[in-house]
Structure 1
Amino acid sequence: MCGLVGFFSPNNNKFNQEDQHRILTEMTTQITSRGPDDHGLWCDSEHGIALGFRRLSIQDLSQAGHQPMTSACGRYIMVFNGEIYNFQDLRQDLNQVEKITWRGHCDSEVILALVSRLGIEAALGKLSGMFAIALWDKQEKSLTLARDRMGEKPLYFGQESGTFFFTSEVKALYPHPDFSATINDGAVATYLRFAYVPDPLSIFKNISKLEPGHCVRIESSGQVINKSFWSPRDMFVHARSTPFQGSRDEAANELNDRLLSGIKQRIVADVPLGAFLSGGIDSSTVVALMKAVAPDRVRSFAIGFDNPRFDESPHAEAVAHHLNTEHTTFKMSERDCLDVIPDLQDVYDEPFADPSQVPTTLLCRLARQHVTVSMAGDGGDELFGGYGRYWDASAHWRKVHNLPAWRKALNKKILMGLSASPSRLARNVRKKFNRLHHDNAAQYYANHMSRWRVDEGLYPPERLSPNIYDDDLALNDDISLERALMHRDTQAYLPSNLLVKTDRASMSCGLEIRAPLLDHNLIEFIWSLPDAYTVDDHKKGILRDVLYRYVPQDIVDRPKQGFEPPLIDWLREPLKDWADDLLSADRIKNSPYYNAKVVMARWQDHRSGKRAWTYPLWTVLMLEAWLDKHQKRRG
């Protein structure tokens, strides 16, 4: 687990070796927290390529794991962030074909050997894990970038002034003289809508996120070839058209075995390892199965709060006690949480407004004092129907989707006509009509997922940048609407929100997170399961069947509880002065990104206790705090 950064100027060696080295050093320094153990640089001024790396040593702690790493054949040079969980099997396969003298026992060396034998695209198809890869081909004078199938590891790329950039975090680009750091107004509007910047957008013009399951090749001519090596849509549609045919018990057995296999691969590390445990279904399943395969006693971590409304720690402690883990609960005061908020813009280098970023950042910092790797249950809600919104949205869409086209057009006209009005009547009309004008279920769900809807007058709808929410849902006769919405979340909400939250929070303190539920082979199997095995009771069906084999039902059966702080109270009390400053009329009245009058009206409502606008306001506050940090980074 590490951080990578670099740049490539095809046919334009505008920087000599000394300049390349200086610029690259400054860029890698921006992401030191992702790799505090080691760093490496490799530059070739003749061909305009520079690769930088920060290393968090997890496997093969020796210099044999140092990057940038050159292949044994000398053709390829690579920087790689992530973990390949099947690298030992791949290493054995390679040894059966040809006797290889290995320099160490890390996965990076196996990737290079596989690429040398098969080529990059074929090699990517064999990798199981999380990864972001930048590979320079000295023979072809080309650069290939690749990102894992589920988007666990970030990878940005783009071009300005004839230079291609690539990086794990966009803040690493600021030191490069060709990077303009020009904000993308469309990405800002899209952020305000969803509270995060969805793939493939980034907050900057000319810079994009490489989409999960994609690789991009940049030729020496400057030509860019972007292609998919694993399509979540194609895999989902195929899995739903060829469903698992066994009984529910047989499916639970298969799920149990696959989870055990994936966890067994993921507990391989040369450093201390633990697991996050909230006491919910996902994390409890991961910890329970860890205990079944781990050679040592499992270490588990939970965070508790003074406010019992937000405190899950007793549930986690009950599970930990049953499983006999070495459990640590970090009890947090309100002051502990508030002290994290000024640091958030260093952690999240794009605007990001998921309130659970606060406890997640705290938990990662505290766990890092004990371990270097932690397991997590990310992905369970999207794969097994953990969110009630799938049924709420589906039920309402089925009621309204057959409205006549003229009625939908009229409803939309009424909504947009009232979008700029702050009156209570206008708000009530918008609330009544905002779900009655969509042409398809994809548009409806995008509206359902919006923090600031397009009809609320905050931003011009035409400013929104195209993103994954614009794509049609994967629907056909074999796919229910609920499963299609779950799949949309695996394409959008999971990689662009949840995994961003986890990656940035953990890597800001040099902690690696591993998520067994995101194994692509496991996901393809889960997608093939009938609805009756997964989402029939709204309670993660078959995943509970597996968990009950290890933990009594009465310990883990409870209503779902969000991992969020009491923002509604904080914004009225301890954070009020901070928010007043960021949302002051003098500061935001001329904002180029949103309608300040709408924001100020809602802030006054919230401050007075008249009405709570917690999450929309947090979205604007995180943007304004990020803009402050952006100006400081630009110098």
Structure 2
Amino acid sequence: MCGLTGFWAPDARREEDSAILHQMVAAIRSRGPDAKGIWTDPVAGIALGHRRLSVLELSDAGAQPMISSSGRFALVFNGEIYNHLNLRERMNGGSSDFRGHSDTETLLAGFERWGLTETLARSTGMFALACWDRWDRALYLARDRMGEKPLYYGWQGVDADRALLFGSELKAIVRHPAFEARIDRASVTAYFARLCVPSLRSIWAGINKVAPGTVLRIGENGESRSETYWDLGDVIAEGVANRVENPREAIELVHDRLAAAVRSQLISDVPLGAFLSGGIDSSLIVALMQQASGGTARTFSIGFEEAAFNEADHARAVAEHLQTDHRELVVTAEDARAVIPDLPRIYDEPFADSSQVPTFLVSQFARGHVTVALSGDGADELFGGYTRYASALAAWRRIEVIPAALRQPWQALAQAMPAWLDRAMAIAGAPNIANFYGRMTDQALGRLATRPGDGVALDHPGLSPVEHLMAQDQLGYLPDDVLVKVDRAAMAVSLETRVPFLDAQVVAASWRLASNLKHRPTDGGFVGKWVLRQILDLYVPRAIIERPKQGFGVPIAAWLRGPLREWADDLLAEDALRRSGLVDAARVATLWKRHRSGRADHAELLWAVLMLEAWVDQRDDVGTGLGDARCVA
């Protein structure tokens, strides 16, 4: 895993460009502490920077930026191509034309042989990259299929100072003198609806994310063209057309694809392990990892003093059964709270999923022993694991008997209801009638299953209502929240994380399964991830695994009334909120007063406000200076 950054200023030629690039690269040092590299072409105005976390090819033969053998392409790359040795074999029969065995060199050879887009379509992995075509004078930015690796970009400055800035994290981009610190007001609104800055937006006006599965080409005239090399909608359509209805066939299909994904992701020239919570997802990854490695897998978990948030006992039981080399760390509430002031720097823009705290702690713990860790993320979204899916399915079963004409008023109400009101109603504990009786209609689900900002709907007639919600989560919640949380937390401590469930073949297999093989009806309602449970039964006794689903979180609500109260009081003071001008100070003051008294639980919304205000409060620490920043519509 690494970090990349750079800029393209076609009309600006600065003597200090090299110094600027060094500053941008320094800002993402934690993504790659082992080495740094820069490459510039002053005539073209292009500058590429890289920080390296050495995982494959530890010698200088894997150093970046890397130039292709013909000299045409200059590449900076973040991630891993798991099938890169297979790609070499397909290119030239495995000849010894390569200088080393890095996947970066494999990509460059593929670009010259097949072209950039076709090479990425043939590649299996997680990645973000920036590639300069010296012949065509064009810049390519690309991102992996599911959005595991981040990549931001945007034009900043005017006239001769105009430059296209890009990087793995915003903290690199803001170091460039052309960057303009203008907060995007629409992104703030979206943040409160999703607890993260969603879709292709960023908190900064004019800075966006490259879409997953996409190659963006920017020409010398500044015009851009995007090309999709992989699309979830196509995968879903193909899966629906080739449904697997037989349970045994479904189990074999997913088992084979997931085992292959785990095997492919064990390639490493440095120590490798896995996160283990003791739940279905991480336990299955560890079981397959143990089987594939033929040795003793290293596993890591953390525990908390608060029993309601402690998973250590469950993880230990799984580790003992599988006989892994297991390590656990019990963290105190003070350990967890000590992380909170650093969260704005780690996440680089407002981010309010409170499970970011334990995710950072387990990453930090694992990094003391390994450089790479596999995780079980993605299983809930692919195989129907969230309890909200079961709730939605139960609600749909209650209302599907109502004639469609009688459901129309509720649908109209749902479409008119802003997302922030949805969340506010949920936080207040109000019965969300529109959500249950409007958004569970076919047309409303089609609208929900649209990736915000790109206008592409996944309203496929072959999907069940719950599958529509799963598609929405795979397009939104997964890349915008879950994968951001894991990437930033792990990269802050220079740990590479890999996610076998998001292998393209596993994703495709999940969409072939009939809906009732994901959410299986039971006497008590519905059980999610049914297929995964059957596979795990082959490795771990169900008695060890079975327990109510437990989120990976911390007791934020209680902490805000106790040890975090003084910190929160400072950030939520009305004069401080008015200075930032991003929230309704009076309304927040009322919510904070009610929460402190224990009369209501507004922890989720207050945490979102706190993460926003803490981010504003520390902006000068990274040198942007927010004093002149302004919110824009």
Instruction: With the length of structure 2 as denominator, give the TM-score of the two structures.
Output: 0.91
Q: Describe the SS at the equivalent of 1:111.
A: helix
Q: Where do 5+ consecutive residues of structure 2 fail to align?
A: 521-525, 626-633
1:48 aligns with 2:45: yes
Q: For residues 415 and 492 of structure 2, what CA distance do their matches in structure 1 show?
A: 43
Q: Kindly provide the amino acid, as one letter, of the partner of residue 301 in structure 1.
A: F
> Does the CA contact (< 8 Å) of 1:297 and 1:326 recur in 2?
yes
- The offset of 1:181, in angstroms, is 2.1
Q: For residues 559 and 79 of structure 2, what CA distance do their matches in structure 1 show?
A: 36
- The offset of 1:437, in angstroms, is 6.2
Q: Kindly provide the amino acid, as one letter, of the partner of residue 13 in structure 2.
A: F
The aligned residue for residue 605 of structure 1 is: 594
Deviations 1:156-198 (A, max 9, x none): 1111123111100011112211110211000011001110011
Q: For residues 489 and 133 of structure 1, what CA distance do their matches in structure 2 show?
A: 25
Q: For residues 530 and 409 of structure 2, what CA distance do their matches in structure 1 show?
A: 41
Q: For residues 445 and 613 of structure 2, what CA distance do their matches in structure 1 show?
A: 29
Q: For residues 213 and 315 of structure 1, what CA distance do their matches in structure 2 show?
A: 36
Q: Kindly provide the amino acid, as one letter, of the partner of residue 259 in structure 1.
A: L
The aligned residue for residue 201 of structure 1 is: 201
Q: Describe the SS at the equivalent of 2:146.
A: coil
The aligned residue for residue 629 of structure 2 is: none
Q: Describe the SS at the equivalent of 2:301.
A: strand
Q: Describe the SS at the equivalent of 2:330.
A: strand
Q: Kindly provide the amino acid, as one letter, of the partner of residue 627 in structure 1.
A: V
The aligned residue for residue 532 of structure 1 is: 516
Alignment of 1:339-350 (within 5 A): 339-350=338-349
- The offset of 1:391, in angstroms, is 3.0
Higher mean displacement: 236-245 or 392-401: 392-401
The aligned residue for residue 181 of structure 1 is: 181
> Does the CA contact (< 8 Å) of 1:75 and 1:139 recur in 2?
yes
1:139 aligns with 2:135: yes
> Does the CA contact (< 8 Å) of 1:58 and 1:269 recur in 2?
yes
- The offset of 1:20, in angstroms, is 1.3
- Which of the numbers 618, 621, 628 marks the counterpart of 2:617? 628
- The offset of 1:39, in angstroms, is 0.3
Deviations 1:228-248 (A, max 9, x none): 111112211221122136x32
- Which of the numbers 571, 577, 598 marks the counterpart of 2:560? 571
The aligned residue for residue 72 of structure 1 is: 69
Aligned structure 1 segments of 4 or more residues deviating by more than 4 angstroms = 400-413, 426-447, 469-473
Q: Kindly provide the amino acid, as one letter, of the partner of residue 267 in structure 1.
A: L
Deviations 1:45-68 (A, max 9, x none): 110100000000001100000000
- Which of the numbers 30, 40, 50 marks the counterpart of 1:33? 30
> Does the CA contact (< 8 Å) of 2:407 and 2:437 recur in 1?
no
> Does the CA contact (< 8 Å) of 1:340 and 1:358 recur in 2?
yes
Q: For residues 67 and 595 of structure 1, what CA distance do their matches in structure 2 show?
A: 47
Q: Describe the SS at the equivalent of 1:279.
A: coil
Q: Kindly provide the amino acid, as one letter, of the partner of residue 198 in structure 2.
A: P
Q: Kindly provide the amino acid, as one letter, of the partner of residue 478 in structure 2.
A: L
Q: 1:442 to 1:25 in 2, by over 3 A?
A: farther
> Does the CA contact (< 8 Å) of 1:446 and 1:469 recur in 2?
no
> Does the CA contact (< 8 Å) of 1:305 and 1:332 recur in 2?
yes
Q: Kindly provide the amino acid, as one letter, of the partner of residue 505 in structure 1.
A: A
Deviations 1:242-274 (A, max 9, x none): 2136x3222212222222211111111010111
Q: For residues 412 and 598 of structure 1, what CA distance do their matches in structure 2 show?
A: 25
1:480 aligns with 2:480: no
Q: For residues 46 and 482 of structure 2, what CA distance do their matches in structure 1 show?
A: 33
Q: For residues 224 and 411 of structure 1, what CA distance do their matches in structure 2 show?
A: 36
The aligned residue for residue 222 of structure 1 is: 222
- The offset of 1:94, in angstroms, is 1.4
> Does the CA contact (< 8 Å) of 1:473 and 1:484 recur in 2?
no
Q: For residues 71 and 472 of structure 1, what CA distance do their matches in structure 2 show?
A: 35
The aligned residue for residue 628 of structure 2 is: none
Q: Kindly provide the amino acid, as one letter, of the partner of residue 260 in structure 2.
A: S
Deviations 1:186-218 (A, max 9, x none): 001100111001111111111101110011001
- The offset of 1:91, in angstroms, is 1.1
- The offset of 1:554, in angstroms, is 0.8
The aligned residue for residue 333 of structure 1 is: 332
Q: Describe the SS at the equivalent of 2:16.
A: helix
- The offset of 1:443, in angstroms, is 5.7
Deviations 1:104-125 (A, max 9, x none): 1110000000001111111111
- The offset of 1:302, in angstroms, is 0.5
Q: For residues 354 and 272 of structure 1, what CA distance do their matches in structure 2 show?
A: 29
- Which of the numbers 543, 548, 557 marks the counterpart of 2:532? 543
Q: How many correspondences in the alignment?
A: 607
Q: For residues 174 and 484 of structure 1, what CA distance do their matches in structure 2 show?
A: 37
Deviations 1:135-164 (A, max 9, x none): 111110111010000000000111112311
Q: For residues 397 and 254 of structure 1, what CA distance do their matches in structure 2 show?
A: 29
- Which of the numbers 489, 498, 519 marks the counterpart of 1:514? 498
1:149 aligns with 2:145: yes
The aligned residue for residue 486 of structure 2 is: 502
- The offset of 1:92, in angstroms, is 1.2
Alignment of 1:147-546 (within 5 A): 147-161=143-157, 162-244=162-244, 247-396=246-395, 399=399, 402-403=405-406, 468=452, 474-536=458-520, 537-546=526-535
Q: 1:586 to 1:295 in 2, by over 3 A?
A: same
Q: For residues 293 and 79 of structure 2, what CA distance do their matches in structure 1 show?
A: 21
Q: For residues 305 and 19 of structure 1, what CA distance do their matches in structure 2 show?
A: 49
Q: Kindly provide the amino acid, as one letter, of the partner of residue 469 in structure 2.
A: L
- The offset of 1:493, in angstroms, is 0.4
Q: Kindly provide the amino acid, as one letter, of the partner of residue 93 in structure 1.
A: R
Q: Kindly provide the amino acid, as one letter, of the partner of residue 324 in structure 2.
A: T
Deviations 1:356-376 (A, max 9, x none): 000110111111000000010
Q: Kindly provide the amino acid, as one letter, of the partner of residue 512 in structure 1.
A: E
CA RMSD of superposed structures (Å): 2.5
> Does the CA contact (< 8 Å) of 1:83 and 1:107 recur in 2?
yes
